Structure 1
Amino acid sequence: MMNNPLLHFSGLPQFDQIRPEHVTPAIEQLLTESQALLDRLLADSAEPTWENFVHPLDDAEEKLSRAWSQVSHTNAVVNTPELREAYNTNLTKLTAFYADLSQNEALYAKFKQIRASAAFEGYSATRKKIIENELRDFRLGGAELPTDKKARFKEIQEELSALSSKFEENVMDSTDAFALYVEDASRLSGIPEDAKHAARDAAEKDGKQGWKFTLHFPSYMPVLQYADDRKLREQLYFAYATRASEFGKPELDNTGLIAQILKLRQEAAQLLGYANYAEESLVTKMAQSPAQVMDFLLSLAQRARPFAERDMAELREYAQRLGLDEMDAWDVAYVSEKLREERYAFSDQEVKQYFPEHMALQGLFRVISTLYGVEVRKSQAPVWHSDVGFYEIVDRAGQLIGQFYIDLYARDKKRGGAWMDEAITRRRKAHGIETPVAYLTCNFSAPVGGKPALFTHDEVITLFHEFGHGLHHLLTKVEEYGVSGIKGVEWDAVELPSQFMENFCWEWDVLQHMTAHVDTGAPLPRSLYEKMVSAKNFQAGMQTLRQIEFALFDMRLHCEFDPNGAKSALDLLLEVRDEVAVVFPPAYNRFPNNFTHIFAGGYAAGYYSYKWAEVLSADAFSLFEENGVLSEETGHRFWSEILAQGGSRPALESFVAFRGREPTLDALLRHNGMVEMTA
């Protein structure tokens, strides 16, 4: 057992050695050890203290968390049937273990004893916050429920865990299952050369003629955005919009899972004494109530609506100029790109040539170095795929601060989207500080035709966004496990550092140092940059309403919707669209069936967080606009008051400490060009 790589905790994960057969023995051993520790701690009659009680629990939790993060991460990025089976088998065991833990009255009593002790008053603010969080989480875990309700609550947690995993698998499998092979070159008119090159390579790998298009974003989006063949756009749009629905394989249809998940969430919330799941979800967030969230979203929708209606009217008028009397959902991206090219005299494709991967990364690292006085440098570690890079962040004295893996390209058997996750969390141990390690994952186009990978400006923004999450984890100065990095940060504030980073992607002082044309090496021309900035808020009204549509749907689904009623989740989405949308997809669109954020990704009754945190991030960035966009002094203040604090204090306190006041909407509206309507 000693040679099981998942039980190796003295250094970086051994990704080159992890196999599916390691998962069960490692998780079972760690669960057995954790249970033995728990039994010993609960049998100890000595008064519980931080040192004799909380610290050993953290040690056990850290080991289990580290081992499992390697399993869940590889399951998401190099999925195989064997790994998936091992993941799901052990997910059930872990869910049951944590459900038991959160309902353990003796354990709860020990934490209450610490809270009531004289020593508690002498604890640091960080330790006090951890104890308060623990007590809250016991209540949310059902520790105060009567025995019969505890059993049912635990059953629900286990069922929800399995259903969420299955939901995500169905989306991944239905995305991977689709392939469209095109042999007629005339159908590819308008599609950029690099996208065609990638499609031809993909077809060749399958031993087929022509070009292969898939539902992975780097393959799908260029077709929707550029293909002159309307039928081709429609084919791909239909396949994408109906993933994991009744239009595909019955075993991959998420419709029934949605209904089950919503019923179980509602039942669990009511067992705990909440009216609905949204109320329960907001206990750990900044927002106070579902009503407050919906008021926030609707007031933002009201501000955005005139801009969105203007955007849509312009688009319809332009579609007619292109000969499209009816503009359908598969035409919107195409018409938008054509209108933007005409209005601003540039295309995404033109800009993309200036962002080869090495320049984009170099520019990102330069921003970090300038703001925080640190250096990012290439390093070595075992990885899960040859695409993966590994880096370290060091201070001016060369002292290690943190490390991260970066996995940028889309591929089969890899979950879609972009995310950051924790590999190792910063904390103080007997031997000193354990430095944090992060995973940064995206789904961009891989290099083709002997050229480096080229990123669209939107992809550069995504890269900066995920790195913002990474910095929140890596630059923490908290030394206690429970609130280190992003741990313990309210969910609706966790997007602040990530959205904050996006702002730098629009600054000339940043972009001029991170661009080099892939063929000529020339930097981004100032004239093209100015066109990009002019186009920055192109369709901002439409995009804002789209996010509000998703957020309102999510909140109402978990607040007002009756999961046992006759109405479906899709029916509710149509009602929300009628209220706030200006874009109406076709009736066959099954967006809820692949909305992994809320059914498999932790954003349930929390999708509003993107807009909520955008208010915070825009307002935070406005201080940089006042003091100098790359001001090291303001950067260090942002680090010390927001990034360094982790979850050790309420996010609003951290924001006020940085900004000197509570947040306002003004900067967000200004950044989105929604300050005033012009005639």
Structure 2
Amino acid sequence: MTAAPTRFPVDDAAWPAFLTETVDANLDAARTHLATLKDGTTRTSAQVLDLWDAGDLALGRASAAAHLLAEVHPDADLRSAAEAGAQAAEDLGTERELDRDLWEVLAATTDDDLDADARRLREHVLRDFRRAGVDRTAEEREHLKALAQRCTELGLEFARNIREGARSITVRPEQLDGLPDDFRAEHAAGDDGLVTLTTEYPDLIPVRTYAHDASVRAALTSEYLRIGWPENAPVLAELLRLREERAHLLGYPDWPTYDAEVKMIGSGQAIADFVDRLDALTAEAAREDVGVLLARFRADDPQADAVTPADSLYYDQVVRREQYDVDAQEVRRYFRYDAVRTGVMETASRLLGLTFTRVEAPTWHPDVEVYDVASDGSAVGRVYLDMHPRPGKFNHAAQFPLVPGVVGRHLPEGVLVCNFSTGTLEHDDVVTFFHEFGHLVHEIVGGAQRWAAFTGVATEWDFVEAPSQLLEEWAWDPGVLRTFATDESGEPIPADLVERMRTADAFGRGAWTRRQVNFTALSYGLHATPPDDLDAYTADVDARFGPYAPLPDTHQVTGFGHLEGYGPAYYTYLWSLVIAKDLRTAFDDDLMDAEVGRRYRDAILAPGGTADAADLVERFLGRPTSFDAFEAWLATRA
């Protein structure tokens, strides 16, 4: 019998008890299942895997709820308690994989009479035991456990310092010249006559994009690039060092090699090779793009000698307005948050055969919306949209699992956490909405699995962005946009404006991709050979890849949140983009082809982690993936 959806407390005072019941009780259940596995009872391989799966599901539920609430709950004490629960869940996972007695129980199983999914589960479990170091001496295992637990602690601290590290500046009202009227109306001067601007996205992105005053752009961008400084510098340095030590103890030359072993890319050296390939593909295009921005910058300031991150968005939109007749402020009139939310959901509904029904249910904050998801009249999951910024909340955009979907036991539940304005959005925000919604539908559609380990977004981690990057394509389709992008009078966005937007989008593609190569090289290099000086190493990467000149006295690396979750694997975004551009070719000229959409859903999303990503792609495309579509996209110039 499938359990009911999560019931969150109505009373604030009930939250500590909810956390105990959801996290602690599930951790206790997981421990009980693991202890039962080691009680000496003779069991078939299928029975062993069933018990393992029960423990895995309980651990997954505890971990998901703890990690989510640590990032989104409005009460700081509850966030701290949830963070402790997340640490306990990660620690239990570490202890489980280093438990030699438990490993011997699993190793004694055979593939006899197991179906394909069960055999895959057994193979993955034994692989993970090996990668944890279960076959090492007792002393080595204890050391590996201590290292893993410390890495978890450091990772949580690193994320917390970013989440709670928002900064701000104050400016005079006239320094908001160039910003949209609705932004200025929402940013009235205080008693001191000054306007406060924060590093949260609803302030940061419009200021970087529209503020005529270069000093304001530079000041706010610089504060953004100091998030986590100085607290995260020693945290990151220790995390990198301990990851390297773990890799060496496990017999790997470095952490990227260890990390990549279970990903599509396969090896650390392959990441370095991927960076080199992208370096060659993007260097000239990026130089051309930045050259155009710098020339336009010098028309305003003849003394300008470089384009920095504080100038890049501003002059990008200036060039698009002047050379491609795309005024970003005109475009944003058509993207009101409520309409965008409805449009994204309706697009996914039509494409994938899903329905989203709003339901009234308690959550952790009044802003959160709840929707039940159905397919062909049957319930398939529940999703939560937590879409607007508030103090102490996760300050980027991501999808968080809440309940792992297992057939007959739990329907999947996922949470979209973003930081959009409640009013009008930039088109880039619309693209981000589609992207993150791609993760959300993957979590739900892939959440009907027999085994907890394979549910939802459980593919290789360097494939996980491909479905989301594919869904971004719908944010550029004129027919799709006309269904929800309307101005206040109800007039849809003109088709010719969308076409100009698409043409202008090709401008800056080289610089954008080059910036992603920069982040990719940084995340890989920091882990391949942890440097003594984090800022100096970041400067070296900037010097090689750019494409923009760094701002002085900033510390980008301490606010680079992906270094905690993705580690050396930021390459995932470009690796997945190569695949996403290839997947796009299956839709030809009709992105709303429901037949292709349903085939995509069934071939790519629905299997979850039950097959290798390369096999999923080949099933859908009828061939292995290639670089061709990505290279053609990158070569397209405005």
Letter in 2 for 1:193: D
Aligned counterpart for 1:66 among listed residues 57, 61, 65: 61
With the length of structure 1 as denominator, give the TM-score of the two structures: 0.89
- Contact (CA 8 Å) 1:495, 1:609: kept in 2 or not? yes
- Contact (CA 8 Å) 1:21, 1:86: kept in 2 or not? no
- Alignment-derived partner of residue 551 in structure 2: 586
Letter in 2 for 1:404: V
Letter in 2 for 1:503: E
Cα shift readout 1:604-635 (whole Å, capped 9, x = no counterpart): 12110110011111100111026x32111211
- Alignment-derived partner of residue 260 in structure 2: 282
Aligned counterpart for 1:224 among listed residues 205, 208, 211: 208
- Contact (CA 8 Å) 1:425, 1:485: kept in 2 or not? yes
Report the Cα distance in structure 1 between the residues aligned to 2:389 and 2:327, rounded to whole angstroms: 23
Letter in 2 for 1:245: W
Task: Please report how far the alpha carbon of residue 527 of structure 1 lies from its aligned counterpart in structure 2 after TM superposition.
Answer: 2.0
- Alignment-derived partner of residue 412 in structure 2: 436
- Contact (CA 8 Å) 1:196, 1:211: kept in 2 or not? no
Cα separation, partners in 2 of 1:142 and 1:59, compared to 1, 3 Å = same
- Alignment-derived partner of residue 19 in structure 2: 23
| Structure 2 residue 553 is the aligned partner of structure 1 residue 571 | no
- Alignment-derived partner of residue 417 in structure 1: 396
What SS does the corresponding residue of 1:43 show, helix, strand or coil? coil
Aligned counterpart for 1:94 among listed residues 86, 89, 97: 89
Letter in 1 for 2:161: N
- Alignment-derived partner of residue 507 in structure 1: 477
- Alignment-derived partner of residue 483 in structure 1: 454
Aligned length: 632
| Structure 2 residue 135 is the aligned partner of structure 1 residue 122 | no
Aligned counterpart for 2:223 among listed residues 232, 239, 243: 239
Report the Cα distance in structure 1 between the residues aligned to 2:424 and 2:179, rounded to whole angstroms: 15
Cα separation, partners in 2 of 1:381 and 1:64, compared to 1, 3 Å = farther
Task: Please report how far the alpha carbon of residue 597 of structure 1 lies from its aligned counterpart in structure 2 after TM superposition.
Answer: 0.6
Letter in 2 for 1:413: G
Cα separation, partners in 2 of 1:146 and 1:656, compared to 1, 3 Å = same
Cα shift readout 1:190-229 (whole Å, capped 9, x = no counterpart): 11112212222xx66xx76542211101112212221122
| Structure 2 residue 170 is the aligned partner of structure 1 residue 181 | yes
Aligned counterpart for 1:596 among listed residues 557, 561, 564: 561
Aligned counterpart for 2:426 among listed residues 456, 459, 479: 456
- Contact (CA 8 Å) 1:76, 1:415: kept in 2 or not? yes
- Contact (CA 8 Å) 1:20, 1:82: kept in 2 or not? no
Letter in 2 for 1:308: A
- Contact (CA 8 Å) 2:72, 2:393: kept in 1 or not? yes
Report the Cα distance in structure 2 between the residues aligned to 1:20 and 1:138, rounded to whole angstroms: 34
What SS does the corresponding residue of 1:444 show, helix, strand or coil? coil
Letter in 2 for 1:499: Q
Aligned counterpart for 2:441 among listed residues 462, 471, 496: 471
Task: Please report how far the alpha carbon of residue 181 of structure 1 lies from its aligned counterpart in structure 2 after TM superposition.
Answer: 3.3
Report the Cα distance in structure 1 between the residues aligned to 2:525 and 2:256, rounded to whole angstroms: 8
Which residues of 2 match residues 543-554 of structure 1 at below 5 A?
543-554=512-523
Letter in 1 for 2:603: E
Letter in 2 for 1:298: D
Task: Please report how far the alpha carbon of residue 562 of structure 1 lies from its aligned counterpart in structure 2 after TM superposition.
Answer: 4.2
Letter in 2 for 1:13: R
Report the Cα distance in structure 2 between the residues aligned to 1:505 and 1:239, rounded to whole angstroms: 30
Letter in 2 for 1:554: S
Cα separation, partners in 2 of 1:94 and 1:393, compared to 1, 3 Å = closer
Aligned counterpart for 1:300 among listed residues 263, 266, 278: 278
Cα separation, partners in 2 of 1:96 and 1:369, compared to 1, 3 Å = closer
Aligned counterpart for 2:382 among listed residues 387, 390, 403: 403
Cα separation, partners in 2 of 1:102 and 1:528, compared to 1, 3 Å = same
- Contact (CA 8 Å) 1:72, 1:87: kept in 2 or not? yes
- Alignment-derived partner of residue 522 in structure 1: 491
* Structure 2 residue runs without a partner (length 5+): none
Report the Cα distance in structure 2 between the residues aligned to 1:651 and 1:301, rounded to whole angstroms: 25
Cα shift readout 1:284-334 (whole Å, capped 9, x = no counterpart): 101122222221222122112211111111111111111242145222222
Report the Cα distance in structure 1 between the residues aligned to 2:340 and 2:279, rounded to whole angstroms: 34
Aligned counterpart for 2:5 among listed residues 11, 14, 22: 11
- Alignment-derived partner of residue 109 in structure 1: 104
What SS does the corresponding residue of 2:187 show, helix, strand or coil? helix
- Contact (CA 8 Å) 1:48, 1:110: kept in 2 or not? no
What SS does the corresponding residue of 2:174 show, helix, strand or coil? helix
Aligned counterpart for 1:445 among listed residues 417, 421, 427: 421
- Contact (CA 8 Å) 2:98, 2:132: kept in 1 or not? yes
Aligned counterpart for 2:161 among listed residues 162, 170, 180: 170
Report the Cα distance in structure 1 between the residues aligned to 2:174 and 2:530, rounded to whole angstroms: 50
Task: Please report how far the alpha carbon of residue 663 of structure 1 lies from its aligned counterpart in structure 2 after TM superposition.
Answer: 1.1
* Structure 1 residue runs without a partner (length 5+): 1-7, 247-252, 447-452
Report the Cα distance in structure 2 between the residues aligned to 1:394 and 1:91, rounded to whole angstroms: 30
- Alignment-derived partner of residue 250 in structure 1: none
- Contact (CA 8 Å) 1:652, 1:662: kept in 2 or not? yes
Aligned counterpart for 2:48 among listed residues 53, 61, 66: 53
- Alignment-derived partner of residue 4 in structure 1: none
| Structure 2 residue 347 is the aligned partner of structure 1 residue 367 | yes
Report the Cα distance in structure 2 between the residues aligned to 1:507 and 1:121, rounded to whole angstroms: 50
Letter in 2 for 1:188: L
| Structure 2 residue 123 is the aligned partner of structure 1 residue 132 | yes
Letter in 2 for 1:266: E
Percent identical residues: 26
Cα separation, partners in 2 of 1:413 and 1:144, compared to 1, 3 Å = same
22-31 vs 318-327, which deviates more? Answer: 22-31
Cα shift readout 1:542-585 (whole Å, capped 9, x = no counterpart): 010000111111112222x145xxx4232222222222223121
Letter in 2 for 1:320: R
| Structure 2 residue 179 is the aligned partner of structure 1 residue 191 | yes
- Contact (CA 8 Å) 1:344, 1:531: kept in 2 or not? yes
Aligned counterpart for 1:212 among listed residues 185, 196, 216: 196
103-112 vs 208-217, which deviates more? Answer: 208-217
What SS does the corresponding residue of 1:530 show, helix, strand or coil? helix
- Alignment-derived partner of residue 3 in structure 1: none
Task: Please report how far the alpha carbon of residue 413 of structure 1 lies from its aligned counterpart in structure 2 after TM superposition.
Answer: 1.3
Letter in 2 for 1:335: Y
Task: Please report how far the alpha carbon of residue 9 of structure 1 lies from its aligned counterpart in structure 2 after TM superposition.
Answer: 6.3
Task: Please report how far the alpha carbon of residue 361 of structure 1 lies from its aligned counterpart in structure 2 after TM superposition.
Answer: 2.4
Task: Please report how far the alpha carbon of residue 10 of structure 1 lies from its aligned counterpart in structure 2 after TM superposition.
Answer: 4.1
Task: Please report how far the alpha carbon of residue 39 of structure 1 lies from its aligned counterpart in structure 2 after TM superposition.
Answer: 2.2
| Structure 2 residue 614 is the aligned partner of structure 1 residue 668 | no
Aligned counterpart for 1:555 among listed residues 524, 535, 548: 524
- Alignment-derived partner of residue 613 in structure 1: 576
Letter in 2 for 1:244: G
- Contact (CA 8 Å) 1:371, 1:636: kept in 2 or not? yes
Report the Cα distance in structure 1 between the residues aligned to 2:181 and 2:574, rounded to whole angstroms: 36
| Structure 2 residue 623 is the aligned partner of structure 1 residue 647 | no
Task: Please report how far the alpha carbon of residue 274 of structure 1 lies from its aligned counterpart in structure 2 after TM superposition.
Answer: 0.6
- Alignment-derived partner of residue 145 in structure 2: 154
Aligned counterpart for 2:600 among listed residues 624, 638, 645: 638
Letter in 1 for 2:456: G
150-159 vs 360-369, which deviates more? Answer: 360-369
Let me know the Cα RMSD of the aligned residues: 2.1
- Contact (CA 8 Å) 1:319, 1:325: kept in 2 or not? no
Report the Cα distance in structure 2 between the residues aligned to 1:267 and 1:657, rounded to whole angstroms: 39
